[in-house]
Amino acid sequence: MTQDDQKKNQNEQATQDSHDARGEQTTPASADGQDADDADFQMPEGFPGMDENMFGQVQEMMARLERAGELEQENADLKGKLGRLASDFENYRRRTQEDVEAAQNQGVAKAAERLMPVYDDLDRALGMGSSDPAKLLPGVQAVQSKVLGIFSGLGLEATGQEGEHFDPRWHEAIQVVPGDQDDVIVQVYQLGFRMGDRLVRPARVVVSRKQ
C-alpha cells in the first residue's frame, strides 16, 4: 500500500469517526427528550391531537364531576335521613299529645269520682232540710268538710282563714278596715287554695290596718 493510500484511508476513518461522534451526540438527546415524554404521557385512544396539558385539564374536570356526583349522593342521603327524622319527631309529638290528653282525662275522671259522694251528701242534706230546715245547716257543714278532705287528698291546701296573716302571694285584699293589728285577715269572702308553692286560687279577704 502506498503512502497516498494510507493517507486516504486515514481521512476516510476520521470522517467516519466524526459522523459517529455527531450521531452519538444527537441520538441520546432525542432518546432523553421524546422517549422520556412518551414514557410519562401516553395519549389514550379517542383523543387525537390533544397534548399533555389539555389531557390534564380533562382529567381534572372528570375528577370534579365525579366528586360532584358523590356530593349529590351525600345530599340525597342527608335529605332522606332528615325526612325520616322529621317523621319520627312528628310521631313522637303525636304520641306525647295523646299521652297528655289521656292523663288530663284520667285526672278529670278521678276528680269527678271523688266529688260524686259530695253530690250524694248534698242531695241527702237537701232532702232532710225540706222536711226539717234545722237539719240543713249541719248537713251542709258536713258536705263542706268532706270537700275540704277531698281537696287535701288531691294535694290542695286551703289558705285565707280568719286571723291568718295577710300574704300577697296567696291572698287578695278586696277591702282594708281599721283594726288592732296590721295585715290580719278579719273576714273571708272566698277561700283560697294552693298546691305546694303554686297558687291555685287566691283567697279574697278583708284585711285590718292599724290606725
> Element (H or E) spanning 176, and its range?
strand 171-179
Lowest mean pLDDT among 93-107, 119-133, 144-158, 177-191: 119-133
The C-alpha atoms of residue 147 and residue 125 are separated, in whole angstroms, by: 14
| Range(s) within the chain of domains with CATH label 3.90.20.20 | 69-154
Decide which of 83 and 69 is more confident: 83
Q: Using an 8 Å Cβ cutoff, are 206 and 177 in contact?
A: yes
In the sheet with 185-190, reading across from the earlier edge strand, the strands are 171-179, 203-210, 185-190
Residue 192 binned pLDDT confidence (cut-offs 50, 70, 90): very high
**What is the average pLDDT across 41-58?**
62
Say what the pLDDT of residue 198 is: 92
- Residues 50-70 have pLDDT tens digits of 667 776 777 777 777 777 777
Q: Is the pLDDT of residue 163 over 70?
A: yes
Output the pTM of the full model.
0.49
Three-class SS of residue 8?
A: helix
Q: Which CATH superfamily is domain 69-154 in?
A: GrpE nucleotide exchange factor, coiled-coil domain (3.90.20.20)
| Range(s) within the chain of domains with CATH label 2.30.22.10 | 156-211
Domain boundaries 156-211, corresponding CATH code: 2.30.22.10
